[in-house]
Amino acid sequence: MARNKKGTPVHGWLNLDKPLGITSTQAIGRVRRLTQAQKLGHAGTLDPLATGILPIALGEATKTIPFVQDSDKIYKFTVKWGEARTTDDCEGAVTQSSDKRPTEAEITALIPRFIGTISQTPPQFSAIKIDGERAYDLAREGEKVDIQPRNVVVYDFKLLKTTENEAEFELNCGKGTYVRSIARDMGQILGCFGHVSLLRRTAVGGFTEENSISLDEFEKIMQSAAPDQVLMPVETVLDDIPALAMTGLEISRIRQGQTLRFLSRPDIERLTVAGIDETTTLVLAVGDNKPLALLEKNGIELHPVKVFNI
């Protein structure tokens, strides 16, 4: 997470449509220069080859990044048949090749094997940590990395169209799913090899193409407007958490990190009206029409776990 203590206190989410050819870190660097924000972070890395939705948190929104990282994601991608590559995408060196090409029927018949909870091995060139080092760093040094398979969840997987050498897909998946691994594994099963030649992320939770902004558009807007005219509120990613309006005394206690206890009948009625019951574990405290804190609920007690300084 990038910090700049001398910068400007800017808070909120930017739903950036990352362009081709730059890293997620480079995209954040450009946003930081435009906003002069003190603190930035992002939810879900995109490779330089990939385009699409890159949610960027500024200021106090960085405290809500975990809620986005766990969100479902949607990708559109193209697999080129006939070659396996070191990176499982078009940037790597060719390791195996084949003249065989799968039929549309063969591809369609294979898709159900990649829906549900599936086991996949992340690519050699991935951000997985091996003994404290990133797998892609070890792979660049020529080292063969032993990456263990892991379970991921795929909710939906569709074949959109095919040509002789390529096939285009749409994938709706959970956290930690590697599109490149799916392309690689499909190519191996079909006996023709394959790698990702085009990749676009179209959604991360509630961040979609419809409410995104390109880097060029953001740069133009920043020439004549303040960042808060473009940013989504900090609480954008907390919609699933029940909100509870706080009194002046409660606001003061929360800002001091003190636990609140709800014992009286009026207190219990407040919780009920807000949709908070015995199954609730997190509550969004709201004060002065702004997000105040995330509170952990334990019985009758609400304890601040993340306080927003907005």
Q: What is the pLDDT of residues 1-55, one digit of tens each?
A: 555 557 788 999 999 999 999 999 999 999 999 999 989 999 888 988 999 999 9
122 confidence band (pLDDT: 50, 70, 90) = confident
Strand partners, 214: 17
47 has catalytic annotation: yes
143 confidence band (pLDDT: 50, 70, 90) = low
Q: Give the pLDDT of residue 135.
A: 47
H or E stretch at 104: helix 104-110
161 confidence band (pLDDT: 50, 70, 90) = very high
138 confidence band (pLDDT: 50, 70, 90) = very low
Q: Give the pLDDT of residue 8.
A: 82
Q: In the chain, pLDDT over 90 holds for what percent of residues?
A: 77
pLDDT at position 130 over 60: no
Q: Give the pLDDT of residue 33.
A: 92
Dist CA 38 CA 32 (whole Å): 8
Name the least confident of 121-125, 143-147, 182-186, 260-264: 143-147
Dist CA 285 CA 130 (whole Å): 39
Q: Report the pLDDT averaged over residues 134-157.
A: 72
Q: Which residues contact 242 (CB under 8 A, 6 or more apart)?
A: 274, 275, 276, 280, 283, 284
Q: Give the pLDDT of residue 44.
A: 83
Instruction: Please say whether the beta carbons of 10 and 39 come within 8 A.
Output: no
Q: Report the pLDDT averaged over residues 206-235.
A: 91
Considering 47, 88, 89, 185, which one is annotated as catalytic? 47
Instruction: Please say whether the beta carbons of 56 and 16 come within 8 A.
Output: yes
Name the least confident of 138-142, 202-206, 228-232, 256-260: 138-142
Q: Report the pLDDT averaged over residues 142-159.
A: 84
pLDDT at position 276 over 50: yes
Q: Give the pLDDT of residue 64.
A: 95
Where do the domains of the chain lie, and which CATH numbers do they carry?
A: 2-71+206-234 (3.30.2350.10), 73-204 (3.30.2350.10), 241-307 (2.30.130.10)
Q: What is the pLDDT of residues 62-118, one digit of tens each?
A: 999 999 988 999 999 999 999 999 889 998 899 999 999 999 999 999 999 999 999
Q: What is the DSSP string of 105-146?
A: HHHHHHGGGGSEEEEEPPPSSSS-EETTEEHHHHHHTTPPP-
Q: Give the pLDDT of residue 255.
A: 93
Q: Give the pLDDT of residue 131.
A: 52
Q: Which residues contact 138 (CB under 8 A, 6 or more apart)?
A: 130, 145
Sheet strands (E) in the chain: 2-3, 12-18, 39-42, 50-58, 73-81, 83-85, 94-97, 116-120, 129-130, 133-134, 150-162, 166-173, 194-204, 207-208, 213-214, 243-245, 260-261, 282-287, 290-298, 301-307
Closest CA to 186 of 27, 68, 79: 79
pLDDT at position 127 over 70: no
Question: pLDDT averaged over the chain?
Answer: 90
Q: Give the pLDDT of residue 139.
A: 46
